[in-house]
Amino acid sequence: MTTAVVEKQRSAAALLGRLAKARELGLLVALFLLFGATAIVNPRFIGVQSLKDILLNTAIVALLAVGQTLVVVTRNIDLSVGSVLGLSAFVTGLLFADHDIPIVVAFAVGIVIGAVCGVVNGVLVAVCRIPALVVTLGTMYVFRGIDYWLAGGRQVNAADMPSAFLKIGSGSIAGIPILPLIALVLLAAAAWGMRNLRSGRELYAIGSNPDAARLAGIPVGRRLFVSFVLTGALSGLAGVLWAARFGTIDATAATGFELNVVAAVVVGGVAIFGGSGTVVGAALGALLLSTIGSALVVLKVEALWERAITGALLLLAITIDRVLAIRAERALRASASRGATTVPNGNGAAPPPPPADEPAVATNVSEGSTRR
């Protein structure tokens, strides 16, 4: 491949990066307009308590969205995150109620439960090569069934849990709720890892073109397995935080939550077709959806419209992703074609044709797709 083609493809890749940042900027603008419009109707919407409630409502969804992003960028999906959260939350409450365990142990158990669930998903998807949609749809019901079996109709109440644990869900540090701070730390760690670690960047390569990733020597199966385990572990942690946030837990905790998470991820600019998107965008998507829900309450709009608006935003985001993907493909092909037909030599002119007594050597410029 010539230097000219490489440079043009790098420019196309940079364009994809700018488009991703533009999506995140667009989400920030949408949030600003939403806050402004709602505050005009009810100024208390931008009050301190209202903002704290929005952050608390966003924290757990954002944490799950971070984990979901690890899977979605590889062209997969995990529909079991809500069930894993519910199972972890109930086991946490049960351990506090029956065994009075230390808080640190509760967090460790919740994370391990989630990781084990992730191992099940990872083995079935990465090793057995069963489509992730089928696998996680099945495990969503399996994990929820285990939750119902453990609960046996029982409910764990806030009185059964330590007050220090419940403060994690309701307390603040320097006026900022603890839950959003935890989510922010994990978000920053995930964003850094996906941008700077080789294994993180390889997830994007797998989502862009799994076959090409294998040919390039990327351990696709291992990366997929680890992404599902990490998603499960984050879901397990989210379950512990759910218990701290709400106190009262039964087997129905977080039922249907996986749809909110997928919506947040896609609205946040993570391509459902894989290969692009950021955990920051996914978190912003979670914040936007939570803000919309709170705004509808303030504006006294019926709750059913929240689902309708979420669905509309989901369809819009998928359409935008597809249009951007098609345009990026065309830009890459055009740049490769121009580089193949006109490759400058040292003085900026096109290379001379080969002598008549020498056969022309065909130059094969492979077309590829480069994504963040």
CATH of the domain at 191: 1.10.3470
Given a contact cutoff of 8 angstroms between Cβ atoms, the answer to whether 187 and 283 are in contact is yes
Rounded Cα gap, residues 218 and 125, in angstroms? 17
| 356 assigned to some structural domain | no
What does the DSSP assignment read for 23-40? HHHHHHHHHHHHHHHHHH
In a domain, 245, yes or no: yes
The answer as to whether 2 is a domain residue is no
Distance CA 304, CA 187 (A): 30
pLDDT at position 108 over 90? yes
Question: How confident is the model at residue 304, as a pLDDT?
Answer: 77
The single-letter code of the amino acid at 220 is V
* Tokens coding 175: 């006026």
Are 121 and 179 in contact, with CB atoms under 8 Å apart?
Answer: no
User: For residues 231 and 317, which has the higher predicted lDDT (pLDDT)?
Assistant: 231
Q: Are 242 and 25 in contact, with CB atoms under 8 Å apart?
A: no
Structure-block tokens of residue 9:
């493809």
Torsion, Cα of 282, 285, 291, 293 (10° steps): -110
How is 319-356 classified by DSSP, letter by letter?
HHHHHHHHHHHHHHHHHHHHHHH----TTSSPPPPPPT
Q: From residue 27, how far is each of 60, 62, 139, 303, 340 by CA, in Å?
A: 19, 14, 32, 22, 38
- Under the banding of pLDDT at 50, 70 and 90, the label for residue 362 is very low
Q: How confident is the model at residue 8 (pLDDT cuts 50, 70, 90)?
A: very low
CB within 8 A of 266, min separation 6: which ones? 72, 272, 285, 314, 317, 318, 321
The pTM (predicted TM-score) of the whole model is 0.84
pLDDT of residue 307: 82
Helix (H/G/I), strand (E/B), else coil: 110: helix
* Average pLDDT of span 205-223: 94
Residue 349 neighbours by CB under 8 Å, 6+ apart: none
66 part of a folded domain: yes
- Cα–Cα distance for residue pair 262/338, rounded to 1 Å: 39
If one counts the domains in the chain, the total is 1
Question: Residue 6 domain-assigned?
Answer: no
Question: 173 lies in which domain range?
Answer: 52-297
Instruction: Tell me the backbone φ, ψ of residue 297, rounded to 5 degrees.
Output: -65, -45
- Measured CA to CA, the distance from residue 211 to residue 233 in angstroms comes to 28
What is the C-alpha separation between 324 and 322, in angstroms, rounded?
5
C-alpha distances in angstroms, 134 versus 77, 78, 80, 137, 274?
Answer: 10, 10, 11, 5, 17
pLDDT digits over 53-105, tens only?
999 999 999 999 999 999 999 999 999 999 999 999 999 999 999 898 999 99
Domain assignment present for 333: no
Given a cut of 80, is residue 336 above it in pLDDT? Answer: no
pLDDT, tens only, 131-187: 999 999 999 999 999 999 999 999 999 999 999 999 999 999 988 999 999 999 999
Asked whether residue 164 is domain-assigned, the answer is yes
| 56, 298 Cβ separation under 8 angstroms | no
Does residue 226 sit within a domain?
yes
